[in-house]
Amino acid sequence: MPRRRPWARRTAATAASAAALVALAVPAEAATTTTSTSTTAQAAAAADVDYATWQQDCQVVMDQALPYLKQRIAATKPGEKQAIVFDVDNTTLETDFGFSYPQPANKPVLDVAEYAQEHGVSLYFVTARPGIISGVTDYNLKTVGYRVSGLYVRGFGDLFKDVATYKTAQRVDIESKGYTIIANIGNSATDLSGGHAEKTYKLPDYDGQLS
């Protein structure tokens, strides 16, 4: 697969977002309102990343996560309900590399998710995507192999909240349902900050270029 230039990704992501609202295609993850201190360096870093590199880097992280999850699942306490929380864009789905619908699953992550769901772990998805595309997002995740126990998207009021705060609140809600969140997996600091997970695993975002 050819290299993905930052300007090309942004242009394609914008087109995909527009299509999502008009024709129910799925857009890229809503970006957080952060300010880059090194835009030039970020662009250069992303320009050097191709699909194969991204997949290799994702695999490295999942190779760390899977042994822990196997051990933690094997040690499930009587009556304990375990859950894993996932981000969506460029975490569970190939948003910036898979311009099709349904978007393909990010295979290293899907492999871990399949092991977990086959061993009784519930999968929850917390995304900054707006509620208007909840249905197509849910369908996409299920179609490519994820068993969705719950999908959290942003309602109108959530659009005015800090993304990290919004995502933390959703994990609190999952815990309120009686679940122990044994892992939280995402590609952005906003996916993982705020606690309410036993372990966190960060996938590459190349200085924010994969939102």
DSSP output for 142-208: HHTT--EEEEEEE-TGGGGS-HHHHHHHHHHHHHHTTEEEEEEEESSHHHHTT--SS-EEEPP-TTT
Q: Report the pLDDT averaged over residues 77-99.
A: 95
Beta-bridge partners for 152: 126
Q: Is the pLDDT of residue 35 over 70?
A: no
**CA distance linking residue 31 with residue 27, whole number of Å:** 11
Q: Is the pLDDT of residue 5 over 50?
A: no
- Residue-wise pLDDT for 108-146, tens only, equals 999 999 999 999 999 999 999 999 999 999 999 999 999
Residue-level pLDDT at 106: 98
Q: Which two tokens stand for residue 140?
A: 């996409």
Whether the Cβ atoms of residue 205 and residue 87 lie closer than 8 Å to each other: no
User: Between the CA of residue 17 and those of 27, 104, 115, 140, 156, what are the distances in Å?
Assistant: 4, 17, 32, 15, 17
Q: Among 11-25, 61-75, 92-106, 126-140, which stretch is predicted with the lowest mean pLDDT? A: 11-25
| Burial of 47 per CB tally in 10 Å (0-12, 13-18, 19+) | middle
Write down all domains in the chain, each with its CATH number in brackets: 6-202 (3.40.50.1000)
Q: How many CA atoms lie within 13 A of 36 on its CB side?
A: 12
3-class SS of residue 122: strand
The alpha carbons of the chain give a radius of gyration, in whole angstroms, of 16
Residue-level pLDDT at 39: 36
**CA distance linking residue 47 with residue 92, whole number of Å:** 22
